[in-house]
Structure 1
């Protein structure tokens, strides 16, 4: 039954203790950990990673605290019902406890505020509220709370200033607090598979954001400020009313000749006066809408999309998000709209 890593010439292997798929209950696991602790060949001080996946552990073994240099604990898929204050373990940096039976009642009222903690993964559990005990880890970089039943992101999420990744897909969220825009170090924000109807405009403050996953929500529109996220190279919006309507409009309501004529006159700077073109077109030109890019002098009329390229993507559509741009050439260069020789705009506006 004992299955911890054997002696090896590899220093990294000697730092790992792996009890995966042993189907051990908590008391039995404590026994095997104690056997290891008393082993003369290896010492508990060597161990930096302990993996207890796929066992029958309602609680964590008490003697985990004897592994004084433990950095990573993975206790996923093990039926965990109670999570003690493992962060009293002063060396731990990573806790992975996904796909267990943890709920808000499973946690202590507070956790020890351990400045070394960098990653916490509690995905696939039974939380109905955001575990606010986690807000006491100011240096936390990776937080995974997906596939729970959480209904709200607390406004004081802003306390987690160091977050690089926040994953809350597969919950019951209906909105996003403005304070999320204060997590200025975020690089990935996963909010897919919720019931979110809108996003705050200050999401544009997340200047380092590279990935924004919003598919399977109730979004009917996006804040125009989103075009300011210049580092964004992944934006997933499939299965939202926004996309369904957009695709339907493109397939069944293409741009009119009036729209195309108005755009052509504007794009090429054609000078027109009374008598040169029909009065209806002159009046139409006067009703042009400005592009949301403040450096762009372009306009759009009824149809805000110049070109759509459909690409199959996991059985869905993948299309450029140009309904917020005056054209696919909307790249600023001084004060003129020119053909892009940079690719960042194309990368950031693709729908997944």
Structure 2
């Protein structure tokens, strides 16, 4: 019987010698092995614990029968446990194990400790093959085309995969089967489009697509499980002109990099990214910032090299008096937070509601509004601000919307 996990063997003599353990485990294969062939030993089989690592494939053997002082299993559901041996006086600390496999393994070890007959197939005392460790790798970094695997699959246990400078023109579908993946780095390739199935990687926290040929970030990805998992997204050095309004549903984002693209505007609901702390969008074609940009609370902001326009003196007036039935209904639905989807109203109306503008008073407006622009000091939303231009400026134009003439008159100071 075998268990794949991280292992740290800690000697209990270390504190008395004024020494400390490393505090970090290594990937290992634990085996409950038969010490003597069954044919040569009557009665219950005598088992031992063999701990093998990539550097020591022959492993270290530990007696089990009546040799375990204590089991620590408080965090077994998290894949962690400790086996305290009497001789030698060591603690075998296990982590990053499959919780179900760990429970079965500990049950077998208990039986061996009691000298009971172990009713599972025991391993033999033989060196562990290197392929055993390859199969359970959690990190793989490939930085050249010649090293890219064409004939064999990626280890299904991978949590971090980097395939850079491999001339990939599309995302390899084998990557999308790696259900434990937390970090995916596809930087410095030639990828033009992202498959919606990236959204099936339910644990993905860090996605790096720097230096590719992307022209968009799809709505399907914005509405996938990435909404709950994605923390860091790097879209720098691509060809993206706009991000969909649904992009703001990725509300767990902390880091967003979109430098060196062709962005002409941010999603106007960007203020919904309440967890965002690092935003870099240097060297794009931004003309102004959306009104909800003022709702952000950033630690770092870089908007250097954008072509910001000077605020317009006169506002754009699109007021409709009286309000149309569509406008009145939309304001009522959004103002009262009435849930809606394409199952109870037409899809195009859902899109209208999704793209409604927020007035400075907090109300909503669809097609009847006044639009004004004013400069804002970016230090109002970020602790650290990279200069917007070579002249030392930290201001940028922000667009504001007003649902009525009254709101506009009461807020004229914001446009000065």
TM-score bracket for the superposition, by shorter chain length? 0.5 to 0.7
Structure-2 change in CA distance of 1:318 and 1:135 (3 Å): farther
CA–CA distance in structure 2, aligned partners of residues 165 and 324 of structure 1: 25
Task: Confirm or deny that 1:74 pairs with 2:137.
Answer: no
Q: Does 1:103 align with 2:169?
A: yes
Distance verdict in 2 for CA 1:85–1:132, change over 3 Å: farther
**Structure 2 counterpart SS, 1:201:** coil
Deviation at 1:183, TM superposition (A): 0.4
Give the deviation of 1:80 after TM superposition: 4.4
Match of 2:306 among 227, 240, 244: 240
- Where 2:266 maps in the other structure, the secondary structure is coil
Q: Does residue 125 of the first structure (1) align with residue 199 of the second (2)?
A: no
1:224 is displaced (CA, Å) by 1.2
CA shift digits 1:237-280 (9 cap, x unpaired): 111111xx45xx9xxxxx9xxxxxxxxxxxxxxxxxxxxxxxxx
Match of 2:252?
Answer: 185
1:208 matched to 2:275? The reply is: yes
Partner residue in 1 for 2:209? 145
Structure ID, larger Rg: 2
Per-residue deviation at 1:108? 2.9
Cα separation, partners in 2 of 1:308 and 1:127, compared to 1, 3 Å: closer
SS at match of 2:256: strand
Aligned to 2:395: 321
Structure 1 partner of 2:289: 222
Pairing 1:94–2:160 present = yes
Find the aligned partners of 1:65 and 1:179 in 2 and give their Cα distance.
Answer: 43
2:45 corresponds in structure 1 to none
Aligned pairs, number = 233
TM superposition score normalised by structure 2:
0.46
TM-score, normalising length: structure 1:
0.54
Alignment pair present for 1:112 and 2:177: yes
> How many Å separate the matches in 1 of 2:198 and 2:162?
14
Match of 1:166 in 2: 233
Note the aligned Cα RMSD (angstroms).
4.3
Once the two structures are superposed, the pairs formed by residues 220-299 of structure 1 within 5 Å of their partners are 220-229=287-296, 231-242=297-308, 245=309, 294=361
Aligned to 2:325: none
- For 1:166, what is the secondary structure of its paired residue? strand
Partner in structure 2 of residue 335 of structure 1: none
Cα distance change, pair 79–134 in 1 and its aligned pair in 2 (3 A): farther
Q: Distance in 2 between matches of 1:173 and 1:306?
A: 25
2:58 aligned with 1:40: yes
Instruction: Tell me the secondary structure at the aligned position of residue 184 of structure 2.
Output: strand
Separation (CA, whole Å) in 1 of partners of 2:59 and 2:199: 40
* 1-structure distance, mates of 2:376, 2:257: 29
1:267 is matched with: none
Decide which structure has greater strand share: 2
Q: Is the 8 A contact 2:289 2:399 kept in 1?
A: no
Secondary structure class of the residue paired with 1:212: strand
Which blocks of at least 5 consecutive residues in structure 2 are unaligned?
1-20, 29-53, 61-93, 97-129, 314-358, 363-371, 380-384, 401-416
Deviation per residue, 1:100-134 (Å, 9 max, x gap): 22221x613773251x2211111011211124442
Q: 2 CA distance for matches of 1:180 and 1:312?
A: 24
